[in-house]
Amino acid sequence: MEPRHVSGKNHWYHETQSRTQHSDVMPLVPEAAHVDDRFLLDLALPDALFNASQQWLNAARQLANTLFPDAVATSRLRTFSAYDRLSTALTVAQVSGVQRLCNHYAARLAPLPGPDSSRESNRRLAQITQYARQLASSPSIITRGPVSSWTMLDSRSTTLF
């Protein structure tokens, strides 16, 4: 963090997003949303590896399509919209540093309508983002016990699916 002094204010604060170079900011790549294979993101694999991996790749593709469909019907019990899902996935990709995924999720997220601007929606999205960052940076906090991070998230009325 880089300390900066703001004129008109009589205190120092830390600018957390401060960068000296603007070249490290990647532009949005809209075509990244349109790929034939949403799991591999059109990554070319050698034929031998591709053929040997077909079984688990098919399962992974189905899971990716289930978790991140183009449209999601929300209800009282299913509160994660397509925007929430892709926003969470983008957060995890950013924390993980996988630029190809960041481009893909950002491009898919861009045309979607965001949540309403109410205080409750902002708080909810901030909580979801906080949990996504925690889980992406420290996956060991996920437990299989009766009180896991997902249970805590669910208890705050943000059912995942």
Instruction: Grade residue 143 by pLDDT with cuts at 50, 70 and 90.
Output: low
Instruction: Decide which of 70 and 154 is more confident.
Output: 70
- Supply the mean pLDDT for the chain: 77
Q: What is the pTM of this model?
A: 0.66
- What residues pair up with 15 in beta bridges, in sequence order? 2
For residue 114, pLDDT beyond 60: yes
For residue 7, pLDDT beyond 60: no
3-state DSSP assignment of residue 40: coil
Domain coordinates in residue numbering, the chain: 31-140
Residues 6+ positions from 29 with CB-CB distance below 8 Å = 103, 106, 107
Q: For residue 144, what are its two tokens?
A: 């299989």
Instruction: Grade residue 157 by pLDDT with cuts at 50, 70 and 90.
Output: very low
For residue 39, pLDDT beyond 90: no
Range 127-148 average pLDDT: 76
Instruction: Grade residue 19 by pLDDT with cuts at 50, 70 and 90.
Output: very low
What integer pLDDT is reported at residue 137 of this predicted model?
86
Residues 6+ positions from 12 with CB-CB distance below 8 Å = 3, 4, 5
What integer pLDDT is reported at residue 11 of this predicted model?
45
